[in-house]
Amino acid sequence: MVQFIIRKIAAGLVVLCAISFLTYFLLYFSSSNIARNILGEYASQEQVAQKETELGLDQPLPARFLDWAGHSITGDFGRSWFTGEPVATAIATRLPITLTLVIAAILLIAVLATVLGMAAAVKRGWIDRVVQTGAIVGDAIPGFVLAIILVTLFAIQLKLFPATSSIAPDAGASAWAASLTLPAIALVINGVTGGAQQVRSAVIKQLERDYVRTLRSRGIPEREILFKHVLRSAAPTGLTVLSLQFIGMLGGVVIIEQIFALPGIGNLAVQSTTMGDIPLVMGVVLYTVVIVIIVNLLVDLINGWLNPKVRVS
């Protein structure tokens, strides 16, 4: 098991390095007039040259990457070119909002999708039709369109929630809840429909397996068969679906934050992208990849714990 974990962590680190390397080269290689862009059209040649030296752009690309990577390991991701704010600080102040939103949404999705999916698979009938139709409708309406509908309806027309909510990190819990409820609902509605559908088919697949019939023949109560055996065997599928949804949500939250005017990481990502603030863009990419790697590692570990075959090998 320990070996299994070490192997997974090592694989994650390799991915992290590969992606930072690729992103770094992509960003710096293709945008040539960085200093000119920052200083504007009317800056003199000397000013541009000076800026380039200041940003270290006169160094060759591989050297710059190594320098950046060396600093990154110590937690220093550089400073924003425009505000001068350290990248680490910029991310750290915005991280709580995004993470609260995404984690709350994914937990809600996990619970709701499991309950709905199980109910649809076991009871069939109307609830099954609702889940199946819901899955199609959920697929058919893009998440951000749904969010726009929610904002127009509940915040602008009905005024039940704040439409734009620039919450401060130190604001009270109620302010957070008020600001994050609607965005979270937007994320949940979008994820739960597909999730429930996947749980449903995974559970149905398990229910059709031979061992379920044998368990029934042994006099094991139906509820125990469902919750102990079937749910456990269906769990890896559910986890994979959840992890993919989580990854998708890290992107989707960018648009959601924009619609609800939340000062989260997504907001930072959009700003830095439009301005060409490359150190910040790098920071956002790095943070996202780290979170994804952690999530994938967790999923692998849980699957290993659930499946004795993985555990033994």
Torsions phi, psi for 79 (to 5 deg): -120, 155
- State in angstroms the smallest separation of the CB of 174 from another protein: 26
| Interface residue list for another protein (CB under 8 A) | 15, 18-19, 23, 26-27, 29-31, 124, 136, 139-145, 148-149, 152, 156, 209-211, 213-222, 224, 229, 232-233, 244, 247-252, 254-255, 258-259, 269-270, 272-274, 276, 278, 281, 284-285, 288-289, 292-293, 296, 306-309, 312
Q: Which is nearer to another protein, 184 or 269 (CB)?
A: 269
Q: Which is nearer to another protein, 16 or 175 (CB)?
A: 16
Task: Give, as one character, the DSSP assignment of residue 64.
Answer: H
- State in angstroms the smallest separation of the CB of 166 from another protein: 17
C-alpha closest to that of 5 among 311, 308, 242, 239: 311
d(CA 304, CA 163): 43
C-alpha closest to that of 105 among 160, 147, 161: 147
Q: Which is nearer to another protein, 20 or 179 (CB)?
A: 20
- State in angstroms the smallest separation of the CB of 173 from another protein: 28
User: What is the DSSP track for 169-230?
Assistant: TTS-HHHHHHHHHHHHHHHHHHHHHHHHHHHHHHHHHHHTSHHHHHHHHTT--HHHIIIIII
How many CA atoms does the CB half-sphere of 187 hold within 13 Å? 34
- State in angstroms the smallest separation of the CB of 109 from another protein: 16
d(CA 116, CA 109): 10
Exposure string for 115-148, b = 16+ CB within 10 A, e = fewer = ebbbbbbbeeeebbeebbebbeebeeeebbebbe
- State in angstroms the smallest separation of the CB of 139 from another protein: 4
- State in angstroms the smallest separation of the CB of 172 from another protein: 28
Q: Which is nearer to another protein, 169 or 221 (CB)?
A: 221
Q: Which is nearer to another protein, 100 or 307 (CB)?
A: 307
Q: Which is nearer to another protein, 173 or 312 (CB)?
A: 312
